[in-house]
Amino acid sequence: SLSDRLTGALKDLRGKGRLSDADIDTTCREIRLALLDADVALPVVRSFIGKIKERAKGAEVSGALNPAQQVVKIVNEELIAILGGETRRVQFAKNPPTVIMLAGLQGSGKTTLAGKLAKWLKDQGHTPLLVACDLQRPGAVSQLQIVGERAGAAVFAPHPGTSVGDSEIEIRVADPINVARAGIEEANAKQYDVVIVDTAGRLGIDMELMQQAAGIRDAVEPDETLFVLDAMIGQDAVSTAESFRDGVGFTGVVLTKLDGDARGGAALSVREVTGMPIMFASTGEKLEEFDVFHPDRMASRILGMGDVLSLIEAAEQHFDEEQAQATAAKIGSGQLTLEDFLEQMMAIRKMGPIGNLLGMLPGAGQMKDALSQVDDSQLDRVQAIIRGMTPAERTDPKIINASRRLRIANGSGVKVSDVNQLVDRFFEARKMMASMSRQMGMPGARRQTR
């Protein structure tokens, strides 16, 4: 899937202290292929990759994020941008009714969407009226009536009161444009505040269909025209969207059948190509399998790295560049104190329960196993022990003698052996960290991105 491939492309960057231009080029090549295989339109892929490359190569050195995380962050931000950035909400008319017209190919999910929208609007206190203007497909009117009933919304059909089976012929000769007009009158008379106009579609683009849709549009003067797009149609999504934009025009896109599409090509192309925002997403046949479209959530779904993204956000929020540099310098010279250690631990714990943080660490195999035995209660104990020490003891734990160890243990509710263990481990760790830091030639925590 696209997610797996993007994750794969970005995984190769992990563990690199610096990224060369060649590293970035390789990663971008893989991302490009993944997008093309997911049916993302070529011009969209080109501009996307161009932006990633430029930003990754020009990225500022960051103390909070390692280079791989920085690239993940950039890719995520650019994904959000091509999905439209901000969430676009329905614009309601100043003078009701607000008219929402649905357009799209046959089978794209217009009638199903009509029901979903009606329920969604009702849940927000609106009183929607569904208007059946698909008089082409046999059974289309009764389908809308069923959907409306499920949503608890009224339906205006060509001959209200008669069952469709009896009036099949009358319905066929009725004119969808007149029905649309009559629907608006009905809404005005009975004070429905939103009108949802369901229209006919064809299996492919054709002129008659476009003209009919344009005729309905002119008759009802919609506040929103939603182009309904089946996300599973892959490559054809773009040309279909362009035809509807030119033939009927629309103010927003609804992506349907996202439940069946693992590739995401339509989602990533349609906004860029048409310039119109994706407003809703439909993820199943049921009325409630539907929601407002949020570009940021879709991006993290496509990237498939929700956990890593949360970690990045938390790290950026809680990172203090100056403190990190000071600590790194102390580590290098073997002067780290228990006071520093306590501060570091508290900074890390601000990000959330330790178990969650470990779960977010990307692929830290062995280290993860070792750390998986650490839990928050152990960390609480360590904090309590350090807090039980005097400032002088925290700075130089060597001065803590046997009687002080007993006092600290009693004061923090632990055993003397726990205190001993903490102090011993601290000395070991300090020595090891100092020698590691010397070997890596790191005077501070700064790492170069390239």
| Residues in binding site for GTP | 104-111, 198-202, 256-259
Q: Which does 109 bind (CB under 5 to 8 A by kind): ligand GDP, Mg ion, none?
A: ligand GDP
Q: Residue 433: how many CA atoms within 13 Å on its side-chain side? A: 21
Q: Which does 104 bind (CB under 5 to 8 A by kind): Mg ion, ligand GDP, none?
A: ligand GDP
The enclosing H or E element of 34 equals helix 21-37
CA neighbor of 254 nearest in space, from 285, 225, 234: 225
Which span sits near Mg ion by CB under 5 A: 132-140, 257-265, 360-368, 407-415?
A: 132-140
Name residue 291's beta-bridge partners.
281
Alpha helices in 333-390 (DSSP H): 338-349, 354-360, 365-371, 376-387
Query: Do residues 133 and 186 touch, judged by C-beta distance below 8 A?
Result: no
Query: Do residues 34 and 296 touch, judged by C-beta distance below 8 A?
Result: no
Length of the chain equals 450
- Residue 290 CB, nearest approach to ligand GDP (Å): 7
By C-beta, is 110 or 271 nearer to ligand GDP? 110
Q: Which does 352 bind (CB under 5 to 8 A by kind): ligand GDP, Mg ion, none?
A: none
CA–CA separation, 395 and 336 (whole Å)? 8
By C-beta, is 75 or 130 nearer to Mg ion? 130
Query: Do residues 43 and 60 touch, judged by C-beta distance below 8 A?
Result: no
- Residue 41 CB, nearest approach to ligand GDP (Å): 22
By C-beta, is 108 or 240 nearer to ligand GDP? 108
Query: Which residues does the annotation place in the binding site?
Result: 104-111, 198-202, 256-259
DSSP state of 153: -
Query: Do residues 247 and 271 touch, judged by C-beta distance below 8 A?
Result: no
CA–CA separation, 223 and 252 (whole Å)? 11
- Residue 141 CB, nearest approach to Mg ion (Å): 9
Across the chain, how many H-helices and E-strands are there? 21, 8
What's phi and psi for 103, nearest 5 deg?
-135, 150
By C-beta, is 121 or 147 nearer to Mg ion? 147
Q: Which does 115 bind (CB under 5 to 8 A by kind): Mg ion, ligand GDP, none?
A: none
- Residue 111 CB, nearest approach to ligand GDP (Å): 3
Binding residues for Mg ion restricted to 134-163, rule: CB under 5 A: 134
Query: Which pair of structure tokens corresponds to residue 328?
Result: 């790194």
CA neighbor of 241 nearest in space, from 213, 216, 276: 276
| Residue 282 binds to Mg ion (criterion: CB under 5 A) | no
CA neighbor of 307 nearest in space, from 358, 342, 344: 358
| Residue 199 binds to Mg ion (criterion: CB under 5 A) | no
By C-beta, is 63 or 201 nearer to ligand GDP? 201
Out of 111, 225, 282, 437, name the contact with Mg ion by CB under 5 A: 111
Q: CA dihedral in degrees (117, 123, 129, 131; nearest 10)?
A: 20
| Residue 274 binds to Mg ion (criterion: CB under 5 A) | no
| Residue 112 binds to Mg ion (criterion: CB under 5 A) | no
- Residue 273 CB, nearest approach to Mg ion (Å): 25
Q: Which does 310 bind (CB under 5 to 8 A by kind): Mg ion, ligand GDP, none?
A: none
Q: Which does 107 bind (CB under 5 to 8 A by kind): Mg ion, ligand GDP, none?
A: ligand GDP
By C-beta, is 66 or 108 nearer to ligand GDP? 108
Query: Do residues 227 and 130 touch, judged by C-beta distance below 8 A?
Result: no
Q: Which does 260 bind (CB under 5 to 8 A by kind): Mg ion, ligand GDP, none?
A: ligand GDP
- Residue 377 CB, nearest approach to Mg ion (Å): 58
Cα 412-416-421 angle, rounded to 5 deg: 100
Residues that bind ligand GDP (CB under 6 A): 104, 106-112, 201, 256-257, 259-260, 282-285
- Helix, strand or coil, per DSSP, at residue 231: helix
- Residue 102 CB, nearest approach to Mg ion (Å): 8
By C-beta, is 260 or 353 nearer to ligand GDP? 260
What's phi and psi for 252, nearest 5 deg?
-160, 165
- Residue 117 CB, nearest approach to ligand GDP (Å): 12
By C-beta, is 239 or 317 nearer to ligand GDP? 239
Name the residues that contact Mg ion, by CB under 5 A.
110-111, 134
